[in-house]
Amino acid sequence: MAVDQGEVQAAKSILWPDEKVELTVTQRRVGPGGSMATPTTVITTDKRLIILNRASLGMRKDYEVIPYRQITSVRLEHGIISSSVFIRVQGYDRDQGLLKNGKEEGEIDGLRNNDAKELADYLSKRQEQIEQVAEGDEPQGQMDNGMGAYVYCSKCGTKDNAGAKFCSKCGARLG
């Protein structure tokens, strides 16, 4: 797994103290609609997927967080000069970023072939692990274990009880 410590340092304010970065992948080539001035960096940790938009990284605001268990499919597409990783995310609603305007499948484009493969493999592995857990004792989708269903913060991925109005970790409004 390739981890760029510079990227980890740049994301320091977003990462949790106990969070372990396992892979960093940065856009190298510009796809349609992309721009060399604003490469996107994808960070996978032991807890969640984080997508950073370098354009406003200084502001530490333009990033999105996707919990692995909300990823429903991962697809790799090799192009001539670069590759893309496509992911589908369940219950993820944002008006900007990877899945803006209600897009069903988000594309992380402009990746080096090796980087794209590594990212797709990593996310697929995560998916398998979650499916194994789900087959164990938890029903798929929204869970109810007697405590009520859970919600996941769209900002940081923290799990909270469904009735919660604000994220217990970052304070973002839930629902």
Positions touching Zn ion (CB under 5 A) are 153, 155-156, 158, 167, 169-170, 172
Give the shortest CB-145-to-Zn ion separation in angstroms: 21
Residue closer to Zn ion (CB basis): 49 or 74: 49
Give the shortest CB-174-to-Zn ion separation in angstroms: 8
Residue closer to Zn ion (CB basis): 44 or 158: 158
Residue closer to Zn ion (CB basis): 149 or 172: 172
Give the shortest CB-171-to-Zn ion separation in angstroms: 7
Residue closer to Zn ion (CB basis): 45 or 83: 45
Give the shortest CB-47-to-Zn ion separation in angstroms: 12
SS (HEC) of the chain:
CCCCHHHHHHCCCCCCCCCCEEEEEECCCCCCCCCCCCCEEEEEECCEEEEEEHHHHHHCCCEEEEEHHHEEEEEEEECCCCEEEEEEECCCCCCCCCCHHHCCEEEEEEECHHHHHHHHHHHHHHHHHHHHHHHHCCCCCCCCCCCCCEEECCCCCCEEECCCCECCCCCCECC
